[in-house]
Amino acid sequence: MEEKLEGIFTRYRENEGNLISILQDIESEFGYLREDAINWFSERLDVPPAKFYGIATFYAQFHLKPRGKNVITACCGTACHVKGSERLINSLVKELAIPDGEETSEDLQFTVEKVNCVGACSIAPVIIVNKTVHGKMTPDKLMKEMKTLKEGPKREYTDYI
Amino acid sequence: MNKDVSIKVCMGTGGIAAGGVEVMSTFEKALASVGIKAVVQKNCSMHKVGCRGFCARDVLVDVIVDGAKSTYQYIKPDMVERIVQEHVVGGAPIGDWLVTDDYHTFHDKQVKVVLSDCGEVDPEDIDSYLGRGGYEAVKKVLTTMTPQETIDVIKASGLRGRGGAGFPTAVKWDMAIKAPGPKKYLICNADEGDPGAFMDRSVVEGNPHAVIEGMIIGAYAIGAPYGYVYIRAEYPLAVERLHLAIKQAKERGYLGKNILGKGLDFMIKVKLGAGAFVCGEETALIASIEGKRGQPKAKPPFPVQKGLWGYPTIINNVETLANVPYIIRKGASWYAAMGTEKSKGTKVFALTGKILNSGLIEVPMGIPLKEVIYDIGGGIENGKKLKAVQTGGPSGGCIPANMMDTTLDYEALSKVGSIMGSGGMVVLDETDCMVNVAKYFLQFTQSESCGKCIPCRVGTKRLLEILTRITEGKGREGDIELLESLAADVKTSSLCGLGQSAPNPVLSTIRYYRDEYEAHIYEKRCPAGVCKDLLSYSILEEFCKGCTACTRVCPAGAIIGEKKKPHKIIQDICIKCGACFETCKFKAIKKG
């Protein structure tokens, strides 16, 4: 952990980075913004943690809680919306047992997140499963996809990172 | 056999999602396997190309044999072998798989400037761009023109900002060249946040060097040694190709110190947006590059006076910058000959929604909307009726079906209560509820409001609450008037463009579809059959055959009945998902 943080710190110094780039690096290193990582940087840079949290909570890209090993991203752009993305999301939340008001299932296997627009509107509705873009999605196709994921080997945190 | 063969596989995000990578590798294998008997076939080349716009037909593949080009649509890896055998080796294109006539109508009315090289050049290879006249414009301005002359050409071309507001590009550059300061910055705004717009992504993915070339020319014109591209992290492919293009441009001496030996220094850095719509606003974007919360500031001072790190800064949109090299190369009068009196040139639109041919299109300014919808777009999907066209995303409005004579230019669109915006164009059909559409956009702007100024933070929240209660059947008398007056307040008193334009979707839907609002409020009815709380599903006994198909798809277990006897929906359990309605073959489910 310490080593990874030092690595981020060096990158930050060399590239004249800023607080956003530090947070982006922490997020890609650990999958979410760990409290201890933020505190480490806060001490190192003499910047209060509140400043980090102010930025972290402003941007949609940052997450304060651990994320699931499988990340399913549902596009909520206008084209996807009029082509039924809401129904896809409802079926995902139900199928993957995502608790109310949360994005991630209790066993940390699945995260269902909504994004504004991934810019692939001509193949709407779009669902991204672990970084692979699937266009013209239907509830049936989606459930099949989820079934393979569920039956497949449980992913460890390391292979997500 | 010595054939000149080249294969171009569409590899934009749409192409890759449809299996472009597999198609490409299958081609490589299949060609290698026949290559054994045609060792002399040196000229066989494989290109990945960027988006050519018609993403709905992906994967699109060009097969060019001895100069004769055939384009295939909907290509899957298992079809490749036959194409190689019959077409490449045998010389006979496979007629059934070629693009149909409407592929050509899709392209016929388009005039391509920004997209002219997209789908032709390999975005990962600078030589491919150079081969089509790339970086000639940089050479031209650096060797034969002064910065002021460069600005004058842009001024004569009439180019206006393609990010939405349509501010004349040359006026912006002129202010920057006159702004005093030891340092200046040029920022390319690729934070394409509008839902339903993807032209900037496609341009960066399909032809990143044109954007870089435009930036170099802009930097020369205003005297900025540093440039940034602020791009959405949600566009991983675009980011990757941009980084690669910058690296290649640096290696060839188009970026860095003393460019082409002409004394110009210019470097580009890429900054990833962290996901905030408001960062499309200039001052918020600058705050975000500085590593802060992306909240807008009051103007003046404008960025051109006091921008990034306090220095004069120019922010141009991707499409604006990508136009620049073509204008320099072909001349201002060539560009100004296209379009209308006040809106010159072409505009790229993302044509999506309930349209037959969805994709990326580029048309001359001033083209009537109906030509875009019917000639290029091929009309409405599934034989439904057109209801409206939404332009300008969450800041724009809806243009109703009876106003399809409206032309696409800045002035005409604002006259009908919409805006050009960045170029999103979402087609809505008779099954779309306009109140729901307005609510959708308000949900978006409300959650993206940065919270700095009260009219936007509280105003969008209240607007959304009223819209929500209308769609839930709890609308009250006077709600429409309340929406109108609140919308006017939010518009006039918000700090930045987000709040000032957030009420537009509400106002434009009330303007043209007041009757739909009234049906929701007074009759508790959603005419389009979208708003769940105003809907109920029931089974028409006389049509029901008791096939049990609906029972099997019902996720809530709300349908009961014996086989071969009429079924029944238990209203208390029904979640109104509509699955039964879509499954029933006998039209026995009634919605309403």
Domain of residue B43, CATH code:
3.40.30.10
Q: Do residues A50 and A81 both lie within one domain? A: no
Asked if residue B66 is part of any domain, the answer here is: yes
Q: Do residues B318 and B402 both lie within one domain? A: no
Task: Kindly report the nearest CA distance between residue A151 and chain B, in angstroms.
Answer: 21
Interface test with B, best of A122, A133, A136, A142 (most B CBs within 10 A): A122
Q: Report residue B232 CA to chain centroid gap.
A: 13
How many domains are there within chain B?
5
Q: Do residues A11 and A80 both lie within one domain? A: no
Q: Do residues A120 and A155 both lie within one domain? A: yes
Q: Do residues B65 and B169 both lie within one domain? A: no
Helices (H) and strands (E) in chain A, counts: 8, 4
How many other C-beta atoms are found inside a 10 Å radius of the C-beta of residue A10? 10
How many domains are there within chain A?
2
Q: How far is CA B537 from CA A79, A138, B8, B532, in A?
A: 26, 21, 49, 10
Residue among A82, A133, A139 minimizing CB distance to B428: A82
Domain of residue A134, CATH code:
3.40.30.10
Sheet holding B5-10, edge to edge: B45-49, B5-10, B61-65, B68-72
* pTM flag (> 0.95): no
Asked if residue B109 is part of any domain, the answer here is: no
Q: Do residues B373 and B257 both lie within one domain? A: no
pLDDT of residue B44: 55
Of B336, B370, B399, which residue sits at a domain end? B336
Q: Which residue of A has its CA nearest to B279?
A: A59
ipTM computed for the complex: 0.85
Q: Do residues B327 and B356 both lie within one domain? A: no
Interface test with B, best of A22, A26, A116 (most B CBs within 10 A): A116
Residue among A60, A131, A133 minimizing CB distance to B275: A60
Asked if residue A64 is part of any domain, the answer here is: no
Asked if residue B121 is part of any domain, the answer here is: no
**Domain of residue B511, residue span:** 434-522
Q: Do residues A87 and A152 both lie within one domain? A: yes
Q: Is B9 exposed, middle or buried (0-12, 13-18, 19+ CB in 10 A)?
A: buried
Tell me the pLDDT tens digit for each residue of A68-117: 989 999 999 888 988 889 889 988 998 899 999 899 999 999 999 998 88
DSSP 8-state symbol, B407: B
Asked if residue A84 is part of any domain, the answer here is: yes
Q: Specify the 3-state DSSP secondary structure of B6.
A: strand
Are the beta carbons of B197 and A119 separated by less than 8 Å? yes
Q: Is A62 exposed, middle or buried (0-12, 13-18, 19+ CB in 10 A)?
A: buried
Q: Do residues A45 and A81 both lie within one domain? A: no
Q: How far apart are CA B420 and CA B219, in angstroms?
A: 27
Asked if residue A47 is part of any domain, the answer here is: yes
A150 CB-side CA count, 13 A:
12
pLDDT of residue B42: 38
pLDDT of residue B344: 95
Q: Do residues B148 and B187 both lie within one domain? A: yes
Interface test with A, best of B60, B76, B285, B426 (most A CBs within 10 A): B426
Are the beta carbons of B234 and A115 separated by less than 8 Å? yes
Are the beta carbons of A119 and B201 separated by less than 8 Å? yes
Q: Which residue of B has its CA nearest to A24?
A: B274
Asked if residue B341 is part of any domain, the answer here is: no
**Residue numbers in B near A91 (CB within 8 A):** 555
Q: How far apart are CA B424 and CA B396, in angstroms?
A: 9
Residue among A18, A119, A134 minimizing CB distance to B198: A119
Q: Do residues B189 and B85 both lie within one domain? A: no
Asked if residue B378 is part of any domain, the answer here is: yes
Asked if residue B104 is part of any domain, the answer here is: no
Task: Kindly report the nearest CA distance between residue A138 and chain B, in angstroms.
Answer: 12
Q: Do residues A151 and A92 both lie within one domain? A: yes
Task: Kindly report the nearest CA distance between residue B331 and chain A, in angstroms.
Answer: 32
Asked if residue A79 is part of any domain, the answer here is: yes
Of B297, B312, B336, which residue sits at a domain end? B336
Interface test with A, best of B54, B201, B231, B234 (most A CBs within 10 A): B234
Residues with Cβ < 8 Å from B148, sequence gap 6 or more?
Answer: B177
**Locus of tokens 């930050």:** A12
Are the beta carbons of B56 and A134 separated by less than 8 Å? no
Q: Do residues B55 and B95 both lie within one domain? A: yes
Q: How do B226-232 and B256-259 pair as beta strands?
A: unpaired
**Residue numbers in A near B202 (CB within 8 A):** 119
**Domain of residue A97, residue span:** 70-160
Residue type, B453: C
Domain of residue B424, CATH code:
3.10.20.600
**Residue numbers in B near A146 (CB within 8 A):** none
User: If residue B175 lies in a helix (H) or strand (E), which one and from where to where?
Assistant: helix B169-178
For the record, the structure tokens of B171 come out as 């006026």
Residue type, B337: A
Domain of residue B298, CATH code:
3.40.50.11540
Residue among B275, B428, B579 minimizing CB distance to A59: B275
pLDDT tens-digit profile, chain B (592 residues): 556 788 888 877 777 888 888 888 888 888 888 764 433 333 456 667 766 777 778 888 888 888 888 889 988 989 988 988 888 888 889 988 998 887 888 888 899 999 999 888 899 999 999 999 999 999 999 999 999 999 999 999 999 999 878 899 999 999 999 998 889 999 999 998 888 888 999 999 999 999 999 999 999 999 999 999 999 988 889 999 999 999 999 999 999 999 999 999 999 999 998 889 999 999 999 999 999 999 999 999 999 999 999 999 999 999 999 999 999 999 999 999 999 999 999 999 999 999 998 889 999 999 999 999 999 999 998 889 999 999 999 999 999 999 999 999 999 999 999 999 888 999 999 999 999 999 999 999 999 999 999 999 999 999 999 999 999 999 999 999 999 999 999 999 999 999 999 999 999 999 999 999 999 999 999 999 899 899 889 999 999 999 999 998 888 889 999 989 999 999 988 888 888 888 899 989 988 7
Task: Kindly report the nearest CA distance between residue A94 and chain B, in angstroms.
Answer: 10
SS (H, E, C) B520-533: HHHCCCCCCCCCHH
Size of interface A-B (CB pairs under 8 A): 136
Task: Kindly report the nearest CA distance between residue B377 and chain A, in angstroms.
Answer: 12
Q: Do residues B425 and B453 both lie within one domain? A: no
Of B414, B429, B444, which residue sits at a domain end? B429
Are the beta carbons of B18 and A123 separated by less than 8 Å? yes
Residues facing residue B70 across a β-bridge:
B63
Q: Do residues B374 and B512 both lie within one domain? A: no
**Residue numbers in B near A60 (CB within 8 A):** 274-276
Q: How far apart are CA A63 and CA A76, in angstroms?
A: 19
